[in-house]
Copies of this chain bind each other. A is one copy, B any other.
Amino acid sequence: MSTMNMIEALNSAHQIVMERDDNVVTLGEDVGYFGGVFRVTAGLQKRFGKHRAFDTPIAESGIVGACVGMAAYGLRPVAEIQFADYIYPAIDQIVSEAARLRYRSSGDWPMPITIRSPYGGGIFGGQTHSQSPEALFAHVAGLKTVIPSTPYDAKGLLIAAIEDNDPVVFFEPKRIYNGPFEGFYDRPASPWSKHPASDVPEGYYAIPLGKAAVVRPGEAVTVLAYGTMVHVARATAEHLGVDAEVIDLRTIVPVDIETIEESVKKTGRCLVLHEATRTAGFGAELAALVQERCFYHLEAPVERVTGWDTPYPHSLEWAYFPGPVRLGLAFKKILEA
């Protein structure tokens, strides 16, 4: 066991998988010599060589297109898209190609590709370093979408994602790379070392995709969250003394419906939480699923607490970001309903 922050945990996942399987290669903008602008791939080039960890031209679609070809050859490419805000140019290769090739070829060309990308707000990154585009990928058959919330999970999920034989979009909540963020932007940040989930085994372990974790048991209301929002949910519930059951989805597609259903049927109330814009966000899917499956157990409508339907602003970030106040109001509303 070591104490790791999320960056170190993700780095460790790379090191281990690349050591175990020399078909794993890592590529992306600045990921080679420099080790990535967030240092997630630090040291890989030195250890595994330039042909297994290398810089690419600045062309996200070229990166993913090359990954598709590499996967067809038999490699397991792990690509970094520097910020999720820059994944859009690559969407055609992800959606029309990587996601559909197994199907299109009736199994001949599986696509074991992992596309990692730092996502989400909370760092004053403005419109193009803050977005949460997970809903777009959730809509696409053939893709899995994974979002960890702790160093421990990040490592185990990334190993599972790289070993998965289907394409995985792996969004990393950059706000919590260095420490959990509980939404109180005006309080001092705490580092991961103070959090139990920073105890990370040095060796190999995998966390199965598609399994959520109940990170805080409760009886009054179920909160469905992922990424940074897991910490906001937990802290807000603590802070307000709400007996909320907080579920960290970890994988949004395929989502762990059993854990969700079990919890909502118990609490009778459900609140979904994400940073992304509300309309047609993944929260809509969660709300739709929950009301489809737990309708007769629900005592109030499923509430969505999300980012607003505007581009992500720079200076008004804390008015945009779904923090403890927004969540607190929603708790109040749903518990009084």
* Shortest CB distance A86–B (Å): 8
Given B138, B276, B291, which contacts A287 in the complex, CB threshold below 8 Å? Answer: B291
Residues of B close to A311: CB separation below 8 A: 99-100, 103-104, 141-142
Contact-residue size bin, chain A (C-beta under 8 Å from the other chain): 35 or more
Please give 6 more A-B residue pairs, beta carbons under 8 A apart, in addition to A96-B128, A136-B139, A141-B309: A88-B92, A99-B311, A100-B311, A279-B285, A287-B287, A292-B301
Residues of B close to A95: CB separation below 8 A: 88
Closest to A103 in B: B311
Q: Once the chains bind, are B88 and A104 in contact (CB under 8 Å)?
A: no
* Shortest CB distance A92–B (Å): 4
Q: Once the chains bind, are B292 and A138 in contact (CB under 8 Å)?
A: no
Given B127, B138, B141, B142, which contacts A100 in the complex, CB threshold below 8 Å? Answer: B127
Given B139, B277, B282, B287, which contacts A292 in the complex, CB threshold below 8 Å? Answer: B287
CA gap between A293 and B337 in the complex, in Å: 13
* Shortest CB distance A66–B (Å): 16
Residues of B close to A58: CB separation below 8 A: none
Interface string of A292-305 (1 = CB under 8 A from B): 11010010111110
Is the C-beta of A74 less than 8 angstroms from some C-beta in chain B? Answer: no
Closest to A134 in B: B280
CA gap between A142 and B287 in the complex, in Å: 23
Can you list 15 A-B contacts with CB-CB less than 8 angstroms, sorted by A residue number?
Answer: A61-B89, A85-B96, A88-B92, A103-B310, A104-B127, A104-B311, A141-B310, A280-B285, A284-B285, A284-B287, A284-B289, A287-B287, A288-B302, A292-B301, A295-B301
CA gap between A310 and B139 in the complex, in Å: 10
CA gap between A255 and B128 in the complex, in Å: 27
Q: Once the chains bind, are B304 and A139 in contact (CB under 8 Å)?
A: no
Closest to A308 in B: B141
Is the C-beta of A135 less than 8 angstroms from some C-beta in chain B? Answer: yes
Interface string of A212-225 (1 = CB under 8 A from B): 00000000000000
CA gap between A277 and B89 in the complex, in Å: 22
Interface centre among A104, A288, A300, A309 (most CB of B within 10 A): A288
Given B61, B96, B100, B138, which contacts A279 in the complex, CB threshold below 8 Å? Answer: B138
* Shortest CB distance A108–B (Å): 15
Is the C-beta of A283 less than 8 angstroms from some C-beta in chain B? Answer: yes
Is the C-beta of A4 less than 8 angstroms from some C-beta in chain B? Answer: no
Given B140, B280, B289, which contacts A139 in the complex, CB threshold below 8 Å? Answer: B280
CA gap between A311 and B95 in the complex, in Å: 10
